[in-house]
Structure 1
């Protein structure tokens, strides 16, 4: 297959842990050809098709200069067997516009994974609203008084922006309410921005589990991201320690329920964040942790994903 990866700049990849690189490596090992571009290299002109100024890349096997690229050329997305949208959050206006270009490319015959419409319809923090039975008590609001009432009810809460990633902008406020007003002002910008507030889940000490769902089926291992020291965040980007462990029966059932609903919407790859037995986020833009799971357990998540990609691309032809 001829694969196009829409991603962040290749020279920003940390290939020892990058999931998109793991996908590329597995695809190349099967003989698929790799192309890459960034979202700003997508364009459309009336009377034509959505194109990408894309580079054909070859993996070198080296740690530093890990790819070799041919000169970029404009190619219609419909000419590829599969287009993988792997741009990291934030889900800002430019990401939103990119999904519209990708949806137009689908109308022209492109096969895009994850589905651009579903990327728009399932923002990572708000997607949990569809599954309230699996969620800790949660409030989504820009109203400062409502946030204060939520704190008064639950006493120990987590506040976070809707557009953050990697643990950025996450605050914990305990029963004493220390700095709650200042934190609300910081996050909601005096009522101009919406905030997510959740009851604190003590099981975070055992890790914020990343549960991967590929083609609607949960991967049999998870990565528990365990906070270190006095930190409340388990995110690897915030210094959390990643420990792979078998998927337990409760989380498997949760993942199967969510996978059966979301996979038919064109979400080939989903990353659930679960603390204790509560889902806190549903990640669909560029879920990660492939390499950490493989390195610790031997289970090749990238192989599982490329298997599913080949099936999905063939079914869409």
Structure 2
């Protein structure tokens, strides 16, 4: 197959842990051709198919100069066998516009994974609200009084922005309510912006588990991101320690329940975040943890992904 990866700049990849790199490596091992571009390389001109200025690359197997570039060209996205949208968050206006260009590319005949319309329809924090049977007490609001009532009921709560990533902007407020007002004002911008409030889950001490779902099926191992020191966040970007573990019965239950539903909507790869027995986030933009799971367990997540991509 001829594959196009739409991603962050290749020069910024940390190949020892990058899941997109792991996908590329496995695809090349199977003989697939690889091209790459960034979202700003997409263009759509009147009367023409959506096109991208792409770099044809070959992986070298070296640690530093990990790819060589065979050339650059402008190619219609429909000419690739698969287009993989792997741009990291934030899901900002430019990401939003990119999904519209990719959706037009689908109308031209391109095959895009994950499906651009599904990327828009599943905001990663809000998406959990569709599955109340798997989540803890959760509130989405911009109203400070609603947040006060939620805190009065649950005492120990987490507040976070809906557009945050990597643990950014997450606050915990305990039973004393210290700084609840100022934290609310910071996150809701004095009532102008919605945020998510959740009951604090003490099971976070055992890790914020990333459960990968590929082609509708959960991967047998998850990566538990364990907070370090006094930190409440387990995100690797916030200093959490990643420990691979077999799925629990509850992890598998959640993955098997959501997997077929999300796959039917065009989401080939999903990362479910689970704390204890509760689903806390549904990651669809650029789920990671392939290499950490493989390095610690031998489970070849990239191979599972390319199997699913070939089947799709």
Question: Fold match, TM over 0.5?
Answer: yes
Please name the residue that 1:41 is paired with: 41
Look up the SS of the partner of 2:128 in the other structure.
helix
Indicate if the aligned counterparts of 2:141 and 2:195 stay in contact, CA closer than 8 A: yes
Question: What are the equivalent positions in structure 2 for 1:291-306 lying under 5 Å apart?
Answer: 291-306=291-306
Report the counterpart of residue 132 of structure 1 in structure 2: 132
Matches within 5 A, 1:49-60: 49-60=49-60
Q: In the alignment, what sits opposite 2:253?
A: 253
Kindly state the Cα deviation for residue 261 of structure 1 after the two structures are TM-superposed.
Answer: 1.0
Q: Secondary structure at the match of 2:45?
A: coil
Unaligned runs of 5+ in 2: none
Distance in 2 between the 1:105 and 1:58 partners? 25
Alignment of 1:41-80 (within 5 A): 41-80=41-80
Helix, strand or coil for the counterpart of 2:16? Answer: coil
Partner Cα distance (1:88, 1:95) in 2: 9
TM-score, structure 1 as length reference: 0.98
**Segments of 4+ moved more than 3 angstroms:** none
Determine the C-alpha separation between the residues in 2 that align with 1:201 and 1:57.
Answer: 44
Q: CA deviation at 1:72?
A: 2.2
Q: Is the 8 A contact 2:44 2:51 kept in 1?
A: yes
Aligned length: 312
Q: Could you say which residue in structure 1 is the equivalent of 2:174?
A: 174
| SS in structure 1 at match of 2:71 | coil
User: C-alpha distance in 2, partners of 1:63/1:181?
Assistant: 48
Cα distance in structure 2, aligned partners of 1:80 and 1:71? 16
User: In the alignment, what sits opposite 1:217?
Assistant: 217
Q: Which residue of 1 aligns with 2:207?
A: 207
Q: 1:73, CA displacement in angstroms?
A: 1.4
Structure 1: which 5+ runs fail to align?
Answer: 313-317
Alignment of 1:1-317 (within 5 A): 1-312=1-312
Distance in 2 of aligned mates of 1:259 and 1:293: 19
* Whole-angstrom distance in 2 between the partners of 1:201 and 1:153: 15
SS in 1 for 2:257: helix
Counterpart CA distance in 1 for 2:91 and 2:72 is 26
String of CA shifts for 1:264-297, please: whole Å, max 9, x gaps: 1110000000000100000000000000000000
Alpha-carbon separation, structure 2, partners of 1:275 and 1:4: 34
Cα deviation code 1:52-105 (max 9, x no counterpart): 110101111111111111332110000000000000111111111000000000
Which residue matches 1:315? Answer: none
Mapped contact 2:57–2:71 kept (Cα < 8 A): no
Q: Secondary structure at the match of 1:71?
A: strand
Query: Matched residue of 2:259: which SS?
Result: helix
Q: How far apart, CA to CA, are the structure 1 residues paired with 2:279 and 2:192? A: 27
Partner Cα distance (1:175, 1:161) in 2: 21
Query: Root-mean-square deviation (CA), in Å?
Result: 0.6
